[in-house]
Amino acid sequence: MSANKQRLNESLINYDPPEWVSKLDNVPKHRVQLVHPDTPIHRWYVPGVPEDFELYIKRDDMTGSQLSGNKVRKLEFLLADAISKGCSTIITCGGIQSNHSRATTISGHQLGLKTHLLLKSTELDPEKATCKGNVLLDRLVGTHIHLIPGDAVYNEDIHQRMENFKKKISEEKGEKAYSIPCGGTNSIGLFGYVQTFQELLKQKVPDNFTDIAVAVGSGGTIGGLSMSNYLSNSHLRIHGMLVGDTGEYFHSEINKALDGLNWSEKHPGVQSQDMCEMYEEAQGRGYALSSPDELEFISAVAEATGILLDPVYTGKAAFHLIKMMKEKPECFKGKKVLFIHTGGMFALFDGRMDDMVRMKGSLTNRIDAWIDVDKVPEIN
């Protein structure tokens, strides 16, 4: 065995699934350790939460530093699957600032895998490609970035491109490559949030909360949480804040992932639609497009609570959650709500927050120059 194969194989650990998933088919047998587990849960005093609600936050933005967020949870299972199948290269895809792609790349390089990213971009000239946000980290670890047209669609051509690339690697290098779909959402990726639900049980979340709210971008996070909530009889109500696309699309993606586990045979008549709520309004202007209220909300939350939300996922999700608490409290099962912070901090460095921070009169524009020792600045 080559030294690198040995390094890869050493990272595999046996996965011991909770008893309530053991009856499903195709439960993963291995995982790798990437996550800092047992992320904290604490009260979250976001401005605007109605007085009769209590809002808490689970800090999955603390699953790591460069690996922070929800994607690394899924990657523990996806990369273990790749390694156990003898693959040495990982190919995945996403938007130019994809958190999933960044987490895949960095995890891959921690384990000893080569990585290729297909990133959707309106700028297709490699010389002019950005170095901001997640892309800086992607490029720093030396992943191969392939810019693809901004309007490319996964089910139409991105999947095909990844298949073609795998074939080329096998023909020209004699190596096996492994492709991971958008956001790492499939029947293996779901186990990242099955594992997290075990943490939530350990943290007594079903005893102490009535509702969970989370951002939805490819569906794997809410899918894993909802199936675990159902299978463990936890009776939380799970709310998905969509950052793009439609509820119908995500339910169908989650049902497809569940079918990989032979779900419909084991639990006939129970589908994603029966296990969680999806809110399309949360996306505002659409995927990765921000509105001034959303950006102001991010800075108000940062000031009041010290928690940093990102403009693409968690900022929109929390913004809509507070709006629903005010305008549609009847949507919630009760009054104790846990928001799952899914990470995404590096998107704050993509440039869009700069003008907001500099805006005269904004909360974040408290800056002056203090030249003479005796001329003490105004306190404002």
Ligand X SMILES: *Cc1c(COP(=O)(O)O)cnc(C)c1O
Judged by the rule CB under 6 A, the positions of this chain that interact with ligand X are 69-71, 99-100, 183, 185, 215-222, 310, 313-314, 342-344
313 or 319: CB nearest ligand X: 313
Cβ distance to ligand X smaller for residue 12 or 183: 183
CB of 5 to ligand X, least distance (A): 30
Q: How far is the CB of 365 from ligand X (least distance, A)?
A: 26
For residue 80, count CB atoms less than 10 angstroms from its CB and return exposed for 0-12, middle for 13-18, buried for 19 or more: buried
CB nearer to ligand X: pick between 12 and 35 = 35
Q: At what angle do helices 191-202 and 220-231 cross, to 10 degrees?
A: 50
* In the complex, least distance from residue 194 CB atom to ligand X, rounded to whole angstroms: 13
Known active-site residue 187: no
Nearest CA to 307 out of 338, 341, 283 is that of: 341
Q: How far is the CB of 227 from ligand X (least distance, A)?
A: 13
Q: How far apart are CA 343 and CA 92, in angstroms?
A: 19
Cα 286 from Cα 283, distance rounded (Å): 5
The one catalytic residue in 88, 98, 121, 226 is 98
Name the residue with the smallest CB distance to ligand X: 344
Distance from C-alpha of 88 to C-alpha of 8, rounded to nearest angstrom: 8
The residue to which tokens 């936050």 are assigned: 57
> In three state form, how does the secondary structure of 47-104 look?
CCCCCCCEEEEEEHHHCCCCCCCCHHHHHHHHHHHHHHCCCCEEEEEEECCCHHHHHH
Task: Kindly tell me which of 88 and 314 has the beta carbon lying closer to ligand X.
Answer: 314
Positions marked active-site: 98
